[in-house]
Amino acid sequence: MIKIDKRLLKEKGGKTYYNNIEFTGITYSSMLKPGLSNSVEYGCIEEEFIDGFKTGVCTKYYPEQRICMRYTRDNAIESRFIGRFETYYINGQICELGEFENNNLHGKYECFYEDGSPFIRAYFNKDSFNGTGTSFYRNGAICEDGVISDVVSFTRALELRLYFGKTPTQIEGHLQTYGIPYADHWLNELMYSRSGYDFCFNSLNNVRGNYKSLSVDGKIIVHIKDLIKETFDINGKRLMVGAFNEHGQEHGQVIKYSYGNLDQIESFLNGTLHGLFLKCNYNGLIKLKGEYYSGSKMGKWTTYYENGLLESEKVYLDSTQYLYTDYYNNQKIKREGKVANGLNEGLYREFHENGSLHVEITYQNGGIVDEVIKYFYDNGNKKGIYNYENGELEGFSFIYYDNGNVKTKRHYSKGKRAGLFEHYYESGALKIKGNFTIGVYDINDDFVFYNEQGFIIEKPEELSYFDQIFNDLE
């Protein structure tokens, strides 16, 4: 076949011509990479034509005509490939060998390092979505061995390498090798957090078939057998053991560990949370315990302090509402109430640590329905009285010292301070008196300040203390 520069050809009516004759032969064209001042040639590509049509057969070369890859492209979809392919490193060493059929890899596939040592040996079943294989570190130690569960992803990654002219050990970005994990720096921690196009035989949540992955020194990292999956850290301590169904979904209990201690137990039914859920503190004591039913929390859920004492209880009535009770470390009730559709509903109560009532409020659809709400000190004396109308502060509200004397008296209109404001010394003597304009909280000239003997004094220059007074228990 003749070989000519592709720029000498012309296309017409879907065919390619040379000197007005349907072209049969091979074309070549440069592959250019943009440079600072001009484009830089980094190789060329040859394409085969017969009777004016592309056959799809392509050969790419590194500079100085060193072969890079040979493949046959699907003319209907340019990024898809058919038949045999082979790729090479720039030193001439074969890199990848295999065959495409029905848009996926088929049969024997091999990949090598630059020195010719094996990287991956695999076999893909025809018209199937899985295969089997073994990958190796550069020192010859096994990296992965077992079922390749996702032939489609493996194939698409290979197609990317062919399309962009990459070899598996070319690094772009954060360990991105267009589909094959670069075993030279496949550190343990990275085996749990692969990113970009980096490929592994089994995705982290896939357990179809038996499989294992190992560190470069031979320690098990992931082990899958008979639908049971285990993972381990760099020191050989178990991180997770879980049961799965034949579709790769969690099915049964999945148990997780942290530094060798129990961290969490989850229960699943065909991929949906169902049954016992348990979360532990760093010290191994239970932190959270409850049950799921078809993905929703149901029944009693409890949380615990680090010392193992009860911290809170929630009782789920259904997926939208629950009753709750929080506890102090001394196990006296801290607060209790009900939530429906994410909003407070019904009676809500808060308590002091000695068990005495702090406040009691009734809600409806998240809004306050009480006309009067009373707060109390832990000695039982009243702390505040707030008047409501249609869920908003309205009229006079009072704040008290713990000796029972009025501390602050203020007036509200539709939830905003408006009108009279009075603040008192603990002895009961008037300290400040004035009127607020509705919605305006700045101190105005209408405010009068008194000493404890009842004499008028000048307005203090430093008002931060009074800012606290004006906003106390807002």
Q: Was domain 380-474 assigned CATH 2.20.110? A: yes
What single-letter DSSP state applies at residue 173?
T
Beta bridge partners of 382: 376
Note the pLDDT of residue 466: 54
Which amino acid type is present at position 95? C
Mean pLDDT of all residues in 431-449: 79
Q: Spell out a b/e string for 39-68, using b for 16 or more CB atoms within 10 Å of the CB, else e.
A: eeeebbbbbbbeebebebbbbbbbeeeebb
Quote the mean pLDDT of the chain: 83
Higher local confidence (pLDDT), 138 or 326: 326
How many whole angstroms separate alpha carbon 116 and alpha carbon 35? 33
Best mean pLDDT range from 181-195, 311-325, 376-390: 311-325
In the predicted structure, residue 37 carries a pLDDT above the cut 50: no
In the predicted structure, residue 114 carries a pLDDT above the cut 50: yes
Note the pLDDT of residue 199: 44
How many whole angstroms separate alpha carbon 277 and alpha carbon 79? 46
309: Cβ–Cβ under 8 A, 6 or more apart, which residues? 327, 329, 331
Note the pLDDT of residue 461: 63
Note the pLDDT of residue 411: 92
Higher local confidence (pLDDT), 269 or 370: 269
Both tokens assigned to 287:
């932190």
Share in percent of the chain as helix, strand, coil (round to 5): 10, 55, 40
Inter-residue long-range contacts of 80-89, CB under 8 Å, 24+ positions, other chains counted: 80/159, 81/159, 81/162, 82/56, 85/162, 87/161, 87/162, 87/167, 89/114, 89/167
For 345-361, the pLDDT digits (tens) are 999 999 999 999 999 99
Mean pLDDT of all residues in 138-143: 84
The least confident of 251-265, 311-325, 425-439 is 425-439
Going from N- to C-terminal start, the domains of the chain cover 380-474
In a 13 Å sphere around the CA of 29, the CA atoms on its Cβ side amount to 10
The least confident of 101-105, 347-351, 400-404 is 101-105
Which amino acid type is present at position 36? L
Taking residue 467's Cβ as centre, other Cβ atoms within 10 Å add up to: 12
In this prediction the pTM is 0.68
Q: Do 302 and 289 contact (CB within 8 A), yes or no?
A: yes
Label residue 148 by pLDDT band (50, 70, 90): confident
Which amino acid type is present at position 269? L
Note the pLDDT of residue 62: 85
In the predicted structure, residue 429 carries a pLDDT above the cut 80: yes
Tell me the DSSP string of 202-240: S-TT--SS-EEEE-TTS-EEEEEETTEEEEE-TTS-EEE
For 161-198, the pLDDT digits (tens) are 777 766 665 544 433 444 444 443 333 334 333 333 33
The least confident of 82-96, 129-143, 315-329, 453-467 is 453-467
360 backbone dihedrals φ, ψ, rounded to 5°: -135, 125
Both tokens assigned to 400:
């008290």
Note the pLDDT of residue 20: 93
Note the pLDDT of residue 31: 66
